[in-house]
Structures are given as structure tokens and as C-alpha cells.
Structure 1
Amino acid sequence: MHSLLLRQLRRHFGSADAIPDGWKLFVESVDSAYRQSDADRRMLERSLELSSQELLQANSEMRAVFQAFPDLFFRLDREGRIVDYKGSGKDLCVASEEIIGKRIQDVPVTGVGAAFRDALQQVRDTSSIVTIEYSMPIQGSERYFEARLLPMMHDQIIAIVRNITERRHLEEQLIQSQKMEAIGQLAGGVAHDFNNILTAILGYADLMLADLPAGSHLEAYGSEVKVAAERGAALTRQLLAFSRRQLLQVAILDLNEVVGEVEQMLRRLIGENIVLVTNLEPELTRVKADPTQVQQVILNLALNARDAMPGGGALSIRTSNLALVSPTTLEGADLAAGLYAVLEISDTGAGMEPEILPRIFEPFFTTKEKGKGTGLGLATVYGIVRQSGGMITVESVPRRGSTFRIFLPGATQTAEPRSSDPPARVGPRGYETILLAEDEENVRTLVRTVLESIGYTVLDASGGDHALEMADRHPGPIHLLVTDIVMPQMSGSELAKRLVDRFPAMKVLFMSGYAEKYPRGFMATGGSAFLQKPFTAAALAQQIRILLGTDRAP
């Protein structure tokens, strides 16, 4: 710029010396300004070049973040039209290349579009963040989502959509677990109260039958009363099994042996049109459980499978080992780390609809016709498995069949040899003095009547304090305390401790409808026994005679 201006001025004034000093100063000022301008331009160009590179890098990094992030990000215009989106396309209900330009409120799922429409309007009206939840079928399965809509500049809206299917399933499992626990508590309470009633019915039926002429129509009526009461007792046992309040006779078991013991019975029960197939793991992990209860679990599931295959089919029983190195949720069951023996029972029957599965373990829930089921079979299975420390899961496909899997924790000891003890015989009539403590009047009256009828002297009390008073007033020895465990003011266990301190030779027979009240610590000393309600008069007399024939350990 400087040389160009000087040439023009020399041409105008004739020579360089003829150029006035003022013009020379002007030329230098203009040239300096242009040089500064060029420097600024070059600096700006360099800055723009760097900014463009940084912006490209930032955009690349942001795209990588969006692709890795589990959420979907939608940029919407004021009308809800999708301008852009980022994130994984696995949760999109349409192909990702087709989504740009569509309105988010036009999603073709009943109720979902309306929810987005209302949310968009609320964002526009209030300029606040709005959250909605919805579900929709994607790739053949129902998925749950949470969408948060945020107002942005230039009337745009950002929608952040998160897949919450796993969280929703965990919440449903928790609710189901809490519901089953509440039902179990209710069932256990009902069974306890009902057991007291049945104890009186069974006991008086025994007394009545003992006095009626053999073969008379009155004896037949009495026998029917007893049979009906025993059926009621069987129902309460199933309720107690569901509520995990049964008294278990635990042993170290090989599940393969238990399956073998019931296999022949199963073949008779399921009929000739159903094929029974067993596939047993030869090195199966041992478990700690009640063998009788495990047999009941297998029988109940097998009978349930038989009823699902009226036209015939296949029933499969399989055992296997499972080793978990860390806590795991498997098929909806929360399992701690460790070894498990798995018992799997499958059928090729009618199967169950998905909406039925969450309720199948509830007491009295049944899909069978009226009169063909109590609805307690699977509830009993559930209770036994849970009381044994295990978990049970079910898979079912309509018209294809069902599979129940039972996971029982492995035991460290070896399996114990199984033997069946012969039933104890009822001893001769007694003569001893028995202190009876029972707060239920009908049960107390029955027990006193039964014991007095076979020769015992009975002191009956309505509670713990009353029993202590009677013991203090009685001048002679008291050979046996028969006490309910759950009583107001003072429990049967506390009463027994106080009386045994005074009368060391006294034996104790505990009665209860609650297995979890079983006084294990006290009974470890010997000289005591437990009789679960409801019981017959014969069972009561037999247990007392056996107990009075033993000595308490020092």
C-alpha cells in the first residue's frame, strides 16, 4: 500500500523530492492502518480456523457421548415436530431414518400420543419441566419409559426419554413380594384361630365316638364329623405352609432320593396318558429341608401339571446344580451367592396367560372349575419352599406348558440316612397330676375333659399368672405342665421356665398352632415336647404318656 501511493504522488508532483511533507505523513499513516488491518484479518482468520476445528472436535465428542448414553434426546420445534435426535435407536418404535420431521405426539400407540400432546401444551403454557411415564410395545415386548420435556430458546423443546422397564419390573416384584407377605400373615392368623376351633371339634368327636355303640348310626354321624374336621385341619396345614408357619422336621437331603421315593406314586397319580420323564444330576448338591414337605411340593406340582394335561402329555422332573459367585436375580428370584440344588418340574399342558402368573401362588386363587380345586396347592408349594430358605419361579406359555423351578441352598453336611420310625403306641391310663394353661376356653375344656377321662388329675388355668397361683396352692407334686405357647400377659415358654425352676422333675408339653413359636431352646433340655394344633384326643393322650415316661436331663 505504501509503495503504490508513493508512485502515484511522484507521478503527480514530478519527483519524490517535490512531494510535500504533509502528503508523506498522510501516506505513512494510511499504510500503517492497512498493515494493522491485515494483521487483524490474519489473526481473525486463524482464530476462526481454530474455532472451527475445536467445534468439530466438540461435536464429535458430543455425538459419541449421546451414542453411549442410554437415554434418547429429541429436539422438537414448537409444534412437537422432531428436528433432531441423539442416542440409541433400540427403543424407537419406528426406523431411526424415518423419525426426523414426525411429530412426537403422533406416535401410533393408544394413550401415548395424547400424553405427549398434553405435556407439550403444559411446557408451552408454563415454561417448566414436565415428566410423563408411558409404555409401548417394541420388538414384541412391552417396554416402559419416562420422558422429561424441557423448554429451550427459540420456542424449541428438548425431550429426554429413558427406558425404565427394568426399574418397573423390580418395583412390581417388590410389590408382589410385599403382597405375598401380607397374605401370608393373614393366612397364618386365620389358620391359628381356626386350629383352636378344630382342636375342640376333633377332641369332642373322639370322646363322642368312644361312648357310642359300634356300628350305630350315631357313630357313623360322629365319624363324618371327625372326617370333616380332619379335612379342615388339612386346609389349615396348607395355610400354615403358605405363611411359613409349619413345624419342619429338617434333615440333610439328596433331592434325587426324594424324587425316587415318590416316582412310583406319581406314575399312578398322573395316569397312563401322561409320560413321566426324569433327568437327575448324579452329583447333586445336598440341601437342608423337610423330606415330607419336599415330597408334598413334588406331588402338588405334579398334580397341577396332570390337571393341565387332560388329553395327555409329558411331565418332566429334572435336577441340576447352580453355582453363583455373586448375588443374582434369576427369573425374578433374588438369590444369594453360593451353591444351589435346582428342582425343575415341567409339563406340556395348557399353560397360563401372562396376567395370571402374578397370582398363582396366592391362597384360594384357582383357574379350575368350581369344586375341582381349593386354590391352596401352589400356595402350599410357595410356603414350603420359602420356609426352607429357597425360591420358586415359573415360566408358562399358553398351549405349550409350564415350568416350575425351585432353588434350594446347598447344605455343607452329607445326606443323612432316611428311616421311618414306627408310630408310638398309646400307653395305659394315667394317674399323674397335670397343670393345664390355655387361654382359649373351648380348647381348655376339651383338654381337661380328655385327660380326666383317662385318669389324670387336672388343674386348669386360663393363663400364665393363674397357673402360677394354682401351682403355689397345690399341696402335692405336679408331674406335667400342658400349656399353650401364645397367651396374653405371659407366654407358655416363660411359664414353663418359672415352673421348672420350682419343680425340676416336671415335664412340659407345649401346644400351638404357630410353628414359629416352637420353643427350641427350652426343648433342647429334654423332658418336653410340642403338639401342633389341631390334634385329636388320641394324639394328646399318646404324647402325654410318652412324655411322662421320660426323665428331664440334669
Structure 2
Amino acid sequence: MLSPTTPTSRKSKSLCRRIAPPARVGFSSLPVVTTSPAWENGLVRCRQFTPGGQPGGVAHRAGPTRARGRAGPIAAERAVNPDEKPFLPEATALRQGTEARVPEEEAARADERSSRSLIGALRDEPNPFSQLVATVPGGLFSFRLRPDGSACCPYANPAFLELFGLPAEDLAESAAALWATLHPDDLDRVRDSVATSARSLTPWRDEFRWRRPNGDEIWVEGHSMPVREPDGSILWHGFLHDITARKETERRLFATHERLQALLQALPVGVSFSEDATCQHITGNPMLRAQFEMTPQDNISASALETAALGRRVRYFFDGQELREGELPLQRAVAENRVIPPMELVVQLPSGRRWIAEILAAPLRDAQDRIIGGLAVILNITERKQAEERYQTLFEHMLDGFALHEIVCDARGQPVDYRFLAVNPAFERLTGLKANAIVGKTVLEILPSTEPYWIETYGRVALTGEPASFENYARDLDQYFQVTAFCPAPRQFACLFVDITARKRAEAEQEHLQTQLAQAQKMESIGRLAGGVAHDFNNLLGVILGYTELALEHANPAQPLYADLLEIQKAAQRSADLTRQLLAFARKQTIAPQVCDLNETVAGMLKLLRRLIGEPIALMWRPGSSLWPVKVDPAQIDQVLANLCVNARDAIASVGQITIETGNASLDQTVCAQHAGWIPGEYVRLAVSDDGCGMDPETLAHLFEPFFTTKGVGRGTGLGLATLYGVVQQNRGFIHVSSAPGQGTTFTLYWPRHRDQGAPAALAGPAEPASRGHETVLLVEDEPALLHLGATMLEKLGYQVLAADTPGEAIRLAEEHAGAIHLLMTDVVMPEMNGRDLARRLLSLYPNLKRLFMSGYTASVIAPHGVLDDGVHFIQKPFAMPELAAKIRVALEREP
């Protein structure tokens, strides 16, 4: 039996007394046969008694008899504090005793107002303290700070160890592990608070973050009481508990409060609050004080209602009459217990400034529906009212016609007509229709030839609120108008009219100019296309003419074969002339729109487009699946593709990629609202992208202006993209351009989905003896037949030939060749590297290397490669052996 006076009992009580103050837990012991407990300081503090003023008894009910050594709850007691306020503590008791002593219960009483913390009862004689703290819902600890600055935790209950995941044996020696688990941002502050408590021997309390071994981060709150020990150490007995949930709640509440405050502070309207039902103290947000020219210290109600004698009262006028006290919207809302609809008032400030306010007010009620104040929202509508006045003036004097209409719908809600509500004088002047003759009547009554399409168009504006701009032809008036329609009110639409009849007739008279522009663009595109065709075609003609010439040298003129060879030579020469003519002339084609598949149209152009852009640039084709049909002139598609690919080619410095893509696209109102002139619907998308130099915003702004070009003199007319824009507009499509310097360019075209469904040349005679040589020539040609022919011709002329079919092979031959290389004869456009770049590479190996360039392109095509610069030797394909011999000698014997 453990007596209340046994050493073990005294030790347990002593520990309890030291734990109780910081843990805010009260302890008492009482025999089960008495109602006079022995009060511990903690319980006295919980009950708010002084130790000398402890009560002699407290109403309580003992719980059922418990087995010795078993802890359990006692029935809740009803206690009364000295201020006569009852409270309900919760107790956990442990029965102790033997047959030789009167049994008593040690009860741990916890004030329910301080989180109902519990300290368990003593469980057994060997370790009564551990039994006592087993029921406490938090961590109990002892912390010792030694004189040398080191620290340890001589005691930590299981809840403490479980909460923080720290082994008791490590903490008993050193608190280093404890410090290490603190959040780095809190560590110094906690150390400082502990040091302050140690110096002043005042209670320690702090909140900080703790990192658990599993990586979780929690918030804890700690309380402890310091005691100085004989050796100079400071010993704290304390209590820690997890407050993470509370912190999170505080954070959310604070964030919500901050958001509401930020919203209130940022609102562009004044908001005023009455904090009492009499509206004698009114506060508001910054906008309200700015509206009333007041400082944060001013009471708005006093300035508005109570200082008339000082001459600085805010005055309010409604319909020219000044409002009296009690007539303000906020006062009426509180007095009448109802929402006051928006009122327009003229506000005159003490400074004399006047402005127009729109005020909406409502009462504020508490949970019991009692009025506790009011709320008013004040909007400064001075500018709006002034704009309305200006609008009225503009309405009467503007040069553009204006008309306000009301849409008329059938039983299904579909627009079938619209009624004139108002027109301005300019409308009367432009149309000849007088207001007194049309206002109140429908358009079908006034203009019976109005097409249903226009009624539907205006109906969409009135019913959806989405504005629209378009050109309209009024058949009854025989006039064209540029119309801008918008929705000023539900089921209404207003229109601004500009008479464009003269412009439309001028456009009709100048249609031939558009044809000429289109033709100029087509000729430029065909010329560029012919350059690409000439490259391959002239290579083939070069082989034919070259071998024909070699055959004529060995043939007997008296034999029939000689005449046949002359005919072959004649036909090849005429073909070569034809390729040159394609670069200068283009046939005019009549525009004939037809239903077509863009995939098929583009696929038919790919071969020509590849020739047009040249070999160094890759052309990628990505056709869309299940493409919708379109109705367009295929020649226009060819023209558009040729123009875009030429521009893309010019934007690429040397080697790059052009990508052509198609696909279906549904443009909704949201997308179209971001692009002027776009109309929602279903379209077929054609996109041409390049990885060239791109364009800056200034260039994009002028991109479709006629005669605007970024190309050099003689390289373009500046009509290409202007004509492209006209083609797309003519087909009721749209263009979107995406580009940035250094990031390439993408032209995306949207096509509407179609739901309906000289003297002849003399015959060449025997070749004159050609100038011969002995030098070494490096011949580079990617066409095998032409490479073999060229080597044969050079060898017949006496030259030593190194033949290569790629630039890489040419470099290898040059590096391995032991002797001198006197002349590089190379094609201009080849895979891997163009001829000019190859020459630059080889000059590093042979500084005195002469160069002769050859190509089937015209001069304008080769110019970007620099081949026709001054001092550059060039021979046009196809060529004859005498011409080749002469060009070689010029290249070898003259300075480059």
C-alpha cells in the first residue's frame, strides 16, 4: 500500500508539482472516504484560487471503485471559480493503497478551457511518475542547460519520444539531436528564448517548427518552468504538444482575411460600412476616402452630416433637391431594413468639387437577423454621364449614320425582322429615309428586299451581344454601306453606317488593276519556279548536247548518222532555249474556282516547289486526314504556295527546312474575337512554316501592304504578300502570321469549308579545235551522267581530272592529292554544301586555286550564292566543248 507520505509518493508528488505549472494541469489527492482533497498548485491555479484561499470542498462525484494501480476517468465535476463562474474539469484517477492503509485516489485535474490536458495517475511504486504521465496528451520533458553551455534531456515521456521520433538514451546524454530537428529558420530564435529564460528564470514559452525523421514538418508549442540547480545548471520541466492543425487554420484564416482586405483595398468603387444601426460611425475603403477627399482619421458620417455649421459639409442632391439627414441611401437601408436600389446623386464636397455618384445600399444583420449596421457601394459615374452627354451631342451632329433597332423573333426565338427605334440626322441624309416615317416600323415594311441573311446577322448581334463589322448592299436604296453593329441593350442592336458606294464603284472600275497585280505575282513565281526546273532540266540537256558533240567529232559528215546527230543537237539546243524563256514569260490563266481537295492540290505542286526552293532546303509535307473540301481556283493555291515557299526560301540563309501542313479547323467566337474580321465557322487550314530569320513586329505590321518589301533592289516587287492577302480575302478566308526574329515564320491560311459540294539557230557544224591545256582540274558535280561527261570533255582537252560527286568527296580528294590542283570546276547547288562554300574550304589547302562555277540556274537565282560577283568565273549549263575550253583558259589565265 502506497501511503501519501511514503518517500515514493512524495517523490511522485514533487515531480507532479514541477510538471503542473507549465503544463497547465492540476493535481489533487484525496481519500476515497473524504471530500477534502489535498490541492496542488496547478489545480489551485486552474480553479483561480490562491494557495491560502483554497476551498474546503468541491462538489464532485467519485467514480466507481477501481482496481489498484489502474488509471481511469472520474465523473466530470462541477466547480465554481471565485468569480462565481462554473467550469467543468476532467479528471483521470489512479487508485493506490494496501489493506493496511486507507485507499486514496490521485487525480489529475485539467481545466477544460486549456485544452483538457491530462497527466496520468501513478501506476506502481517502482516508477510512479511514468504511470502518472502516461495519460497526458502531449510530450513531457526535462531539459538541462549545463554551465558549460551543453544541454541534455534527462527525461522525456513516451509521447514526447513518439511525437519527435528521438531515442531517449541519446537525449539523456546530449540535446544535439533535439537541436538538429528544429527548422533552421527557427533554431536561433528558440536558442535565444531558452537563453533568456535561463538568465531571468522566467517561464519559457515558444512556438516553432520541428522536422520529424520521416521528413514531416510539424508545429509545436512548448511551456516550461526553469529551476537553478546547485551546480549552476538550469533545469526546465515542461510540456510540448503538436499545434500543426491550429497553425494551418490560422494560416488559412489569415490568408482569407488578407485576400478580403486586398480585394476591398483594390476595388475601384467606394465601399462604406456603418458599424452601428444609427449610422453615426462610418468607415470605408481607400477609394471611398479618395472620392470624399478624406483622411483615414476622418469619420465620414461626421463630415457628411454633422459639420454644416463649419461650412465643410458634404452635400447630396437628387433631381436638383438637396437630401436631408436621414435620406441618404445608407441611412434609409438601415432605417427601412431593405435594399435601396441604385440612386444617382450629385455630391458636392467641402472643397466645392462636384461629382455624380451611383449608390447602392443594404442593411447588415447578425445571426439573429438583427440590424447591426449597413453597407453602401458608391460608384463615380461622372465620366459615364459626361460620355452620355457627349454621345447625345455626337448622335445629333455626327457625320456617320446611326440607327437603333429592336430585333423581332418568331415563336421559336429566331430573328425574322427588326424594328427602327431611333435614327440620327446623318442616317436620314445618307439614306433619304426620314425618322418620322420609319421609327416604330420594321425593316421589311420599309425595305422589303432586305435579305434574310442580314436579319440573321443582326439577330446574332442582338441576341448574343457579340459585335460585328461588315459591308452591306441595300438593294432598295442601291447603296453600299460599311456597317458596325453592336448590342447596347438586350434584344437591341445599334448600327453605325458609312456610305461606301463611291468606293465600291471605284473598286469595280479598278478590278483590272487587281488582275494585273495577280499576274505580276504569278509571273514572279513562275520565274522562280522555272529556275528550279532549269536546274534539273538543263543537267539532262547538258548530257544530251555534250555526248552529241562528242559523237559528231567521230562521225563522218557524209554518213546519214551525222545528219541524225545534228537533228538531236538542234532539238536539244531548242529545249535549252525553252528553259530560258520560261524564266521571262508566263501564261495568263483565267480564275476558275472549283471544289477541290487541298491535299491533292498541294501534292501536285511538291515537285515544282522542291525545284523552286532549291536543294539545300528540305521541304516537308504533312497532309491532314479526312480533309474537308474547299472551293477555290487551284491556280490560286499554286500561286499562294509558290509565293510563300519563295519567301521562306529567301528567309533561310543557306540550309534549312520548309514545312507545309493541312488540317481541319473550327473557329469559335472566342478565337475570332481576338482577330479583327474573322468569322466563326469551319475552315481548312493550310500552313507554311520555315526556320529562317523571322520578322520583327514592325515588319509584321506592314506585311500585306502593297509594294512593301524587305528584299534587295531587283529581288521582288513587294506585291507578293499583298496579292496573297487579296486571294485569301477573295475566297472569304483569313490569314494568321506567327513570327519572331531568329525563330522562323508560319503563315496559316484558313479557307472556308465547302458544303455544296527570234530567228532559228543555225545548225552547228564540226567543232572548232578547242584550246587545250595540261593543268589539273578538280571537277565536282552531283549528277553522275554530267560528271562523267565533264570528265571526258576535260580529258579530251588535255587536262588531268579529279572527279567528285559530292563536296565531301572533293575535299577528301584535295587533301589526298600529292600534286597541285590548278582549277576547281564545281556545280553551284549541291547537297551538303554549295559550290561557293566548297571553294572557300579548298582555298585553305590551295591558296592559288582558280575557280569556275557552273549551274543550270539563271543569274537571279545564283546571285544569293555570290557566284556572279565581280571576278567570279561562271559557265551556264548546258555548254559545248569549245565554250568550256575557252572558259577554262580564262579562269586559269586571269586573276580571279
Larger Rg: 2
The two structures have a TM-score, normalised by structure 1, of 0.47
Higher helix share: 1
The two structures have a TM-score, normalised by structure 2, of 0.31
Higher strand share: 2
Flag the structure with more relative contact order, 1 or 2, with Cα contacts below 8 A and sequence separation at least 6: 1
